[in-house]
Structure 1
Amino acid sequence: MTDIIKRIENLFKDDSMPPMILIDGDWGSGKTYFIKNKLIPHFENKDKKVVFFSLYGISDLNDFRDKLLSVYSMNDKDASTGFKDLSTIFTKLGSVLGESNASNLGAIANSLTGMIKHAALGRIKGFTLILDDLERVADDKLTGLLLGECIELAENNQIKIIVAANAKKITTNTMLEKAFVDIIPYKTSPEEMVNIAIEGIELFEKNKINIKNEVIRLDYTNLRVLKRALFRLKPVLQKIKESNEIIKEPSAKIATSTILAICFAHYEKHYTKKEISKNVVRSEIIKIHLDNKGKKTDPPSMKEKELSIILGNVNTVLNTLDYCFGEKLKINIINDLNLPKKKDPLNSMITGNYIYGTEEEFVLGIALLKKCIMSKETVNFEQWGKACHMLLYFSRFNYINDTEEDLWVTINEFKNIIDFAPNDGYTSWISSIDNQELKNILREKSASASNKSQNIATKAFKDVMVHSWKNALETEIHSSQSNKVLSFTDSEFLNQCIENWDAIDIKEFNIALGERYEVLTSNSYDQELINLKGIKKMLEEKLQKMESSFKKGELTKLLHTSGKTLKHLIDIQAKNSRD
């Protein structure tokens, strides 16, 4: 930065052209930060007047002149005297001569204001004018007019002019070459970028080495993207700092590497979430281009190679991508980032953090992996799948003596007899398994574990629903359960609910039923059809026995919605049969 300032000062000594310099840098390269925090203070320390403003939003040449005079006059009382005096004169004249002459006075004032403006522009001299965002001017014609005006100011008013812009975004580059004595390329170094981005933030200062190493590895060039990444990283580092469950130093390093890499890939290199999600795991395709049977596969594309290098050893789950993309505001630092837990060698093996342990802990971890895949007790499905994956990985690269053939014998023996604990149905982690045969097994077996979880969630929802539909909608699982309420609500269960519900419960249930099923256009709803037929019949019989009341009125509406929904589902079923 100091070199650029010296270069600017030397160029201003060259009187062969008007003293105009262009600082050229990409969006987010740190030009504006450099101007505000380095360049302007440098000139002001030398008692030189500086006027700085952005050209963004300037609509025409007069708009530019007005803004220049306005910003200049803020620090120079004499420069605005003419305007103040003129305004005062016409205000007084208007009050004396009356409203009928106001329009004539306004026309005269506008004419004289233009004259005064030109006079005022002629009076402002001997300062440094810094203009930002030239590339954001509306069109090339206006850009040309503004540069022409700047040349006149530089030549006639002894004003030194510095313009900051992303020259690549200005289509008429010949205009720039003719206007400026020189064009200075600007790029913030990784070290400077880190210093700027973490300035004054203690949490980042303590993790500066991790941040700096990742910025250098990735070759970050956009300061704004880095700040965006650090905005995502800050609460994660804070959670790591406060957690007593994880090993802090490697956790901070993993979190920094993961979040900065994903944000860089998306916000600076413009990879989509779909592209990143395919490469976000340690993929062997880049290393050995072989499938599980030893057959050569298609080599990766240039984009896949680049993305693989960017993501490095990032090993995470979809929730982390959603968090980095700003789609989720919270993240589970242990599960989503695979951070190493204290005194949990099995977790360290599964998450790939075994490297931070000792040889003895690694041996223990291998034993725990084997115990996990051969467990006679209920085991977490995700743990089991990842344990199989890691053992096959360790065998392939000679970490252990067990052959892949022997391990497959064990996996195939236990895959059908092991008791998987209920899970939340989240199975996107399976896509991170690079062994296709294992991936197929896991996709096949995930249904049984998910069904257990589904049954538990449905029971929990029904336990609340039977007493109050409103309360059921306030549970954490309502979004997954209320959308398929007819799949587990038959006439007998709904009759129990109605006995406990008030009119508002029935009204809200009726709305949910109509909104859920009226938009469906395809798929099979066999169970819903069976339940809905029973519900319609139950409501008809119930209403015949009831006296008029709020509740009967809402149940009558529910019967009407049930009939419409039943017809809609029958129509869908008929359409599916024809197709």
Structure 2
Amino acid sequence: MEKSNQQRLEEYLVGTNGYLKKDISNGKVIMLSGKWGSGKTFFWKNIIATDEFKKELSDKNSAYSYVSLYGKSSIEEIENDIFAQIYFSAIGGDNLVTKTFSTFTKYSKRYGNLFSSFDFSKLAEGLENEQKDNKERVALERLKNGAIICFDDFERKSKDIDLNDLFGFITNLTIEFDCKVVIILNDDVFEGEEKDVFSRVKEKSVSKFLKYEPSIKELFETIFNSDEQYRKLDEHKQIILQTIEETKELNARIYIQVLDNLVEWIDKKQETDENILRCLILVNINFILFHTIFYRDEKLNDSSVFNSHKILKLSNEAFDYMVSNYVGMNSFVEPKTFEDYIAKTKKRCFLDKSINDEIIKIRIKFIEDNLILFKSDYFANKLNISKNVNDETFQKINNFIETGILI
């Protein structure tokens, strides 16, 4: 059987003779890219940078540092984060000052006046200064011994950090310390001027480009097998995967939220009929994507092609206008794609002979300004999200997803 993209990357990076395990990758910058939400960070943390792999590095007197650029506002802040992680990994993660001071305090309490004239604050201060003196030396030694530094969340970096300066810092890390650097980012992370800068600097800085592009099944399997609580869902695994595949959504965060809600649903002893679970999953995904909730239109009967058509529960001026002016809401004819759906909806505006050109322009502009409403309508009706689920259960699911509380 042909190996999946994820299996190939895992073997290449950390297999028996993995690239990151060999000196050939010292001083190199590796870029792991993929689509937004495809689970790159999850893959890196749970499949590549495992506790076992980090222990291997530690046993070799090397180190590992994971740096999220989210919230960082300067290169100095990033540098301090790296050095602190590597230093504290070298001493087992304990705060030496606090640990030593608490030990002396314990003896002071036990033996009373024996230490009564000792100035513990000066001892703590001295130990802290000694730590500071050793910090850089310990970190540098580990950095130079094949350390791995992973940078993530490029799309969330502060505007205060210049992209040229950031890549200059990364390049200097590899040159000065001969360490391995891994950059995790989305395919389309940068826009405008930064996109041009990124295109230039990546060619000069990056030695290895790796593409993370899992299938829906592959990403789902990785997440489903990552958490012991998901074992409660083992007997329902097939319908969960099948429903997610219906949506064509490739997004790790969505899968995790859906699985967590399914666990809560089952823990509260709710019905687990396949149609109900399917409905819960689709209502949940629709809410994550579009923040809308549907209910059945009581005016329509069960003979409808979509088994009781749904309309948006969301009550606002834009929604009311949509219901009043677009026949697509109440006579949904399944198009092959969302683009086809929008094209047909716009076309209906021109076919309505009862309105003038100005009204047509207003309706077309409304469509373009409120695509999220139409996307939600398309999603819910194309997939018939409440198929074979009674009104009471459908409402319970809606309430659970919208409020976060299962009553």
> Aligned partner of 2:79: which letter?
R
Alignment of 1:77-476 (within 5 A): 77=91, 122-123=140-141, 124-125=143-144, 126-139=146-159, 141-171=161-191, 172=194, 173-174=198-199, 175-195=201-221, 196-197=223-224, 199-200=227-228, 201-238=230-267, 251-268=272-289, 270=290, 272-273=292-293, 278=311, 285-286=332-333, 298=348, 303=375, 304-311=377-384, 314=387, 317=391, 319-320=395-396, 322-327=398-403, 329-330=405-406
The residue aligned with 1:75 is 89
CA offsets 1:477-499 (integer angstroms, 9 cap, x no match): xxxxxxxxxxxxxxxxxxxxxxx
Q: How many angstroms apart in 1 are the aligned matches of 2:207 and 2:88? A: 29
Shift of 1:150: 1.9
- Contact 1:194 1:211 (8 Å CA) reproduced: no
Deviation at residue 149 of structure 1 after TM alignment:
1.8
Q: CA deviation at 1:139?
A: 1.9
Shift of 1:33: 2.3
Q: Report the Cα distance in structure 1 between the residues aligned to 2:25 and 2:46, rounded to whole angstroms.
A: 30
Deviations 1:305-358 (A, max 9, x none): 454324456366573464354325225xxxxxxxxxxxxxxxxxxxxxxxxxxx
Aligned mates of 1:307, 1:68 — CA distance in 2: 46
Take 1:285 and 1:77, find their aligned partners in 2: how far apart are those partners?
64
Matched, 1:63 2:77: yes
Displacement of 1:229: 1.9
**Alpha-carbon distance, 1:259 to partner:** 1.4
Distance 1:95 1:265, change over 3 A: closer
Q: Which has the larger radius of gyration?
A: 1
Alignment CA distance shift 1:330-1:75 (3 Å): closer
Q: What is the CA–CA distance in structure 1 between the aligned matches of 2:19 and 2:7, rounded to whole Å?
A: 13
Query: Which amino acid counterpart does residue 8 of structure 2 have in structure 1?
Result: D
* Preserved contact between residue 25 and residue 185 of structure 1 (Cα < 8 Å): yes
Aligned residue for 1:22? 31
State whether residues 74 and 160 of structure 2, in contact with CA within 8 Å, keep that contact through their aligned partners in structure 1: no
Q: Distance in 1 between matches of 2:85 and 2:26?
A: 26
Alpha-carbon spacing, 1:134–1:189, altered in 2? closer, same or farther (3 Å)? same
Q: Matches of 2:256 and 2:55 in 1, distance apart? A: 29
Report the Cα distance in structure 1 between the residues aligned to 2:187 and 2:160, rounded to whole angstroms.
12
Partner of 2:7: 2
2:154–2:184 contact (8 Å) kept in structure 1 = yes
Higher helix share: 1
Q: Sequence identity of aligned pairs in percent?
A: 18
Residue 211 of structure 1: how far off its partner (Å)? 0.6
**More displaced stretch, 132-141 vs 40-49:** 40-49
Deviation at 1:279, TM superposition (A): 6.7
Q: Which sections of structure 2, spanning at least 5 residues, go unmatched? A: 1-5, 99-118, 296-308, 314-328, 336-346, 350-366, 368-373
Matched, 1:52 2:73: no
Structure of greater relative contact order (alpha carbons < 8 Å, 6+ residues apart): 2
Give the equivalent residue in structure 1 for 2:318: none
C-alpha distance in 2, partners of 1:30/1:139?
Answer: 25
Change (3 A) 1:20 1:328: closer
Q: Is the 8 A contact 1:59 1:138 kept in 2?
A: yes
Are the structure 2 counterparts of residues 328 and 16 from structure 1 closer, same or farther at C-alpha, using a change threshold of 3 Å? closer
